[in-house]
Amino acid sequence: MKPPPFDYHAPRSVGEALETLADVGEHGKVLAGGQSLIPMLNMRLAAPGHLVDINRLTELATLDVEPGGVRVGALARHAQVERSEEVAAAQPLLRQALRLVAHPVIRNRGTVVGSLVHADPAAELPAVLAVLGGSVRLARPGTVRDVPAAGFFTGILESAAEPGELAVSAFFPLLPPRSGTAFREVARRHGDYALAGVAALVGLDDDLRITTARVACVSVGPAPVLVDVTEACGHRPPASADWASAARAVQERTAPEADIHATADYRRHLTGVLAQQALRDAAREALDA
């Protein structure tokens, strides 16, 4: 239960970090909060030759509410984002989801961008980025690119971040007017990875009819499963929307696998129930918005 040896790098600037990552290429791994990476090292599930520790890059510990959304820097801890009233007002889904991420002590250290890059299909934040249509900013020396959520999560624990690239920030778009969000999940114990979970976004028009309804589901595929259920909800006011039909549409799109924690059928069942609950919650928030 001790990490394998690695060469340790402690860059003092983002520029130096990018140069180091470019040098070590596919043998390099970025260390931010370490709350997923260090367990994997301790259990010898990962053995990178070089660890590039970005914890001294305080210039990445940023949290900015911009006109179009919330930009979270690579060193912003879960706890910092969760506690920000400004962020909760601009994009409530972040706090709704972060309260379900592990335990408070883990959230003191873990980072939002780190969770995204780790791309665990059972994690909450990839689903948040997916349902909001956010993006991740990846940098290498002299180049920066923004990858939309739809193309960022490429498989189990795999993201579009390539060897030598550093994820410097993530962008979570603001909610449009008259819209609401919710996150619902079921875990064996509070703080565990969810057996199933659903992030939902519902938007209404001026007549308070549903114009947007979509969900992103966790633990039912290799990456967050994004499903647009606007049609299934039937362009009606939330009180008469066909939530059951929306839930069935979500279930049809999931391909869960069985493991020691739950059968595939049980995960699909939970996803349907949670989708209905999350959509109702989000619609209620939209009516109050």
Partner 1 sequence: MNIAITLTVNGVVRQVEVPGRRLLSDCLRHDLGLTGTHVGCEHGVCGCCTVLLDGEPVRSCLTFAVTVDGHDITTVEGLAAPGGAMSPVQRAFAECHGLQCGFCTPGFLCTVTALLRDNPAPSEEEVLEGISGNLCRCTGYQNIVKSVHRAAEIMAEES
Residues that bind partner 1 (CB under 8 A): 1-8, 10, 31, 34-35, 38-39, 41-43, 51, 53, 55, 79, 102-106, 108-109, 190-191
Comparison of 109 and 140: residue with beta carbon closer to partner 1: 109
For residues 43 and 144, which CB has a smaller minimum distance to partner 1 in the complex? 43
Closer CB to partner 1, residue 63 or residue 147?
A: 63
Residues 6+ away with beta carbon under 8 Å from 280: 238, 243
* C-beta of residue 122 within 8 angstroms of C-beta of residue 38: no
Q: What is the DSSP string of 168-194?
A: EEEEEEPPPTTEEEEEEEE-SSTTSPP
Alpha-carbon radius of gyration of the chain: 19
Q: Which DSSP helix (H) or strand (E) runs through 73?
A: strand 69-73
Shortest spacing between CB 171 and partner 1, in angstroms: 26
- Are 105 and 26 within 8 A, CB to CB? no
Q: How far is the CB of 8 from partner 1 (least distance, A)?
A: 3
CA angle 169, 174, 178 (to 5 degrees): 165
Residue 239 vs 260, nearer CB to partner 1 = 260
How near is the Cβ of 58 to partner 1 at its closest, in Å?
12
- Strands 135-140, 166-173: pairing is antiparallel
Nearest CB to partner 1, comparing residues 39 and 151? 39
Rounded Cα–Cα distance for residues 287 and 289 (Å): 6
Q: Which residues contact 124 (CB under 8 A, 6 or more apart)?
A: 97, 98, 100, 101, 115, 183, 185, 194, 197, 199, 218
d(Cα 173, Cα 157) in Å, to the nearest integer?
24
Closest separation between CB of residue 55 and partner 1, Å? 5
Q: Which amino acid is at 200?
A: A
Least distance between partner 1 and beta carbon 153 (Å): 23
Q: How far is the CB of 105 from partner 1 (least distance, A)?
A: 5
CB of 277 to partner 1, least distance (A): 20
Question: Considering the complex, what minimum distance in angstroms separates the CB of residue 286 from partner 1?
Answer: 27
Residue (5 or 67) nearer to partner 1, CB: 5
Measured from the CB atom, the residue of 80 and 169 that comes closer to partner 1 is 80
Residue 78 or 268 with smaller CB distance to partner 1: 78
Beta-ladder partners of 169:
73, 137
β strands within 178-273, DSSP E: 179-186, 196-204, 210-218, 225-228
